[in-house]
């Protein structure tokens, strides 16, 4: 609708609606919705009912200057890692601020575990960080063995170290593929999954489960090695280096990959320590902190290996760190198979364990970093308190530090280099 008379201006219906809404909101004492420069935008722009900001930081993120807008990444989007939602404040293509919003996969596993017996807790922790299931079971097994005052037989400890290193290899291998996928390379993820399936089939042969292994027990492991497992291990070991290197050749020197990762998301050692970043992400920043060396658990004090570190601390260094650790894990598996003793794989433990009242802390080096369990017993059949520290949950805090000033498209690329798993982040 147009008019020739400049005196008469017919307002746009959308603008009329906005004016009416603002008038109603002002009458109700609410903050304006579509904020002009410098005003608090509220949450309605990103789908949660409007309310005043609860904290200083929330006001900072959701206050828009002229030319800024809020973009919602996730929670259901193919390029995010699981149901991850991050609110990104952008100015054009440039990220101004990032606010991770968690809890879309929260299942209350800690609370579930407090109502389960010590044996069944080891099944509940499986789906937490679903790419490092063996590590998820290892830390509670260590903590409960400390609480109960029992030790797993030596052969069980060797089998534990073996399956845990196999798990680390396929988890790191998948990270290579996911990182390339988020940058736009579709092929490496397919080869990553081929390599991963070989390991998963092997672990399925020893544990009976394909993804949620439920293999660890308090005082040992569920099964001894069998012929199928050993033959699969032999075939896999003969080809694994070649397979990993083939995937590596596709990615490492790729010009696009290097352009998107070298110098991106650079985290210095002291920053990473202050943020609580651990595992390969911390070692990529030059800090040689590896729980396997720092507080040797299981049999890691009997194995020879060096803690690998990188200098740069950027996405590319985090990727190189993963490859170096895959090769290190293969080397560890060779040592474990050479030294593996004979004997039982399970100590004698009653079906329902009632440890004496006490506290215990069990920590392991998972593919994403320091994964630890703090368990309190009150003498009953279930833990009084069961606390899990998930490494990817804590590592996510680095994203709001790294992204400001970068392009929106790099948000996912930097996040993928930290390799978070939402099952662990949301517990």
Partner 1 sequence: MEHVRGPRPAAHALGRRRALSAPVVAGALIRLLGDRLGSELGDLWTDEDTVEFTIDGARTVEVLTTLRDDPDLEFFFLADAAAVDYGTDAHFEVVYHLFSWKHPAWLRVRARVDRAEPRIPTITTVWEGAMFHEREMYDMMGIVFEGNRDLRRIYMSPDYKSFPQRRDFVLPDDAADSPAAGVNPLERPETWDLSRFRDELTRSAAPTFLPTGERPGAEPSVEAGRTDADKSRPR
Q: Which residues bind partner 1 (CB under 8 A)?
A: 43, 48-49, 51, 54-58, 102-103, 106, 108, 110-111, 146, 149-151, 153, 219, 224-225, 230, 233-234, 273-278, 289, 294-295, 337, 340, 342-344, 346-349, 358-361, 363, 370, 372, 374, 376, 385, 387, 389, 393-394, 396-397, 426-427
The CA distances from residue 113 to 108, 145, 149, 213, 361, in Å, are 9, 16, 20, 17, 16
Q: Of 61 and 180, which has the nearer Cβ to partner 1? A: 61
- Which residue number, 2 or 54, has a Cβ lying nearer to partner 1? 54
Three-state SS for 14? helix
User: Judged by CB, which is closer to partner 1: 297, or 316?
Assistant: 297
Q: What is the DSSP string of 26-61?
A: HHTTPPPSS--TTEE--SGGGTS-----SSHHHHHH
Residues whose CB is less than 8 angstroms from the CB of residue 238 and which lie 6 or more positions away in sequence, other chains included: none
Closest to partner 1 by CB, 61 vs 317, is 61
Q: Distances from the Cα of 2 to the Cαs of 7, 16, 199, 273, 377, in angstroms?
A: 12, 16, 69, 63, 77
Tell the smallest beta-carbon distance from residue 6 to partner 1 (Å): 48
Shortest separation between residue 136's beta carbon and partner 1, angstroms: 15
302: which DSSP letter? G
Q: How far is the CB of 154 from partner 1 (least distance, A)?
A: 9
Q: Shortest gap between Cβ of 125 and partner 1 (angstroms)?
A: 15
Instruction: Give dist(CA 42, CA 62) in Å, integer.
Output: 6
In 252-314, alpha helices (H): 255-261, 269-275, 280-283, 291-294
Nearest to partner 1 of 174, 403 (CB atom): 403
Contact (CB, 8 A) for 200 and 210: yes
Q: How far is the CB of 180 from partner 1 (least distance, A)?
A: 28
d(CA 371, CA 279): 9
Of the candidates 314, 334, 321, 320, the residue with the CA atom closest to the CA atom of residue 290: 321
Q: How far is the CB of 158 from partner 1 (least distance, A)?
A: 9
Find the shortest distance in angstroms from Cβ 352 to partner 1.
16
**Comparison of 3 and 348: residue with beta carbon closer to partner 1:** 348
Min dist CB 106 to partner 1, Å, is: 4
Helix, strand, or coil (residue 411): helix
Return the ∠ at Cα 293 (arms to 289 and 298), rounded to 5°. 130
- Measured from the CB atom, the residue of 106 and 210 that comes closer to partner 1 is 106
* Crossing angle of helices 227-251 and 154-183, rounded to 10°: 30
Q: Quick one: 153 or 286, whose CB is closer to partner 1?
A: 153
């Amino acid at each position: 609708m147009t008019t020739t008379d400049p005196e008469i201006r017919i307002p746009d219906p959308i603008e009329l609606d906005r004016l009416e809404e603002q008038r109603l909101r002002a009458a109700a004492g609410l903050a304006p919705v579509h904020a002009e420069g410098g005003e608090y935008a509220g949450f309605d722009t990103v789908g949660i009912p409007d309310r005043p900001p609860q904290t200083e930081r929330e006001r900072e993120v959701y206050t828009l200057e002229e030319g800024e807008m809020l973009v919602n990444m996730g929670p259901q989007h193919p390029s995010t890692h699981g149901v991850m939602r991050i609110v990104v404040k952008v100015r054009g293509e440039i990220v101004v601020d990032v606010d991770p919003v968690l809890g879309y996969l929260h299942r209350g596993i800690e609370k579930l575990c407090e109502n389960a017996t010590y044996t069944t807790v080891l099944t509940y922790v499986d789906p937490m960080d679903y790419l490092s299931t063996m590590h998820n079971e290892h830390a509670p097994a260590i903590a409960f063995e400390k609480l109960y005052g029992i030790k797993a037989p030596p052969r069980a400890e060797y089998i534990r170290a073996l399956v845990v290193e196999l798990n680390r290899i396929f988890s790191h291998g998948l990270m290579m593929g996911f990182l390339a996928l988020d940058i736009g390379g579709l092929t490496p993820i397919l080869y990553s999954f081929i390599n991963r399936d070989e390991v998963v089939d092997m672990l399925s042969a020893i544990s009976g489960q394909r993804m949620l292994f439920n293999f660890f027990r308090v005082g040992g492991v569920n099964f001894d090695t069998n012929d199928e497992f050993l033959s699969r291990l032999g075939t896999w070991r003969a080809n694994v280096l070649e397979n990993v290197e083939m995937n590596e050749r596709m990615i490492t020197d790729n010009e696009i990959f290097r352009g998107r990762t070298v110098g991106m998301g650079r985290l210095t050692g002291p920053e990473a320590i202050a943020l609580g970043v651990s595992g390969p992400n911390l070692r990529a920043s030059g800090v040689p902190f590896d729980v396997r060396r720092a507080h040797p658990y299981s049999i890691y004090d009997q194995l020879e290996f060096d803690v690998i570190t990188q200098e740069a601390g950027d996405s590319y260094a985090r990727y190189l760190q993963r490859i170096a650790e895959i090769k290190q894990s293969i080397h560890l598996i060779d040592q474990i198979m050479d030294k593996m003793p004979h004997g039982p794989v399970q100590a004698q433990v009653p079906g329902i364990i009632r440890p004496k009242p006490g506290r215990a802390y069990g920590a392991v080096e998972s593919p994403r970093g320091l994964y630890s369990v703090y368990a309190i017993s009150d003498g009953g059949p279930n833990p009084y308190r069961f606390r899990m520290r998930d490494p990817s949950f804590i590592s996510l805090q680095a994203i709001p530090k790294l992204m400001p000033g970068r392009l929106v498209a790099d948000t996912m690329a930097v996040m993928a280099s930290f390799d978070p798993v939402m099952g662990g982040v949301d517990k």
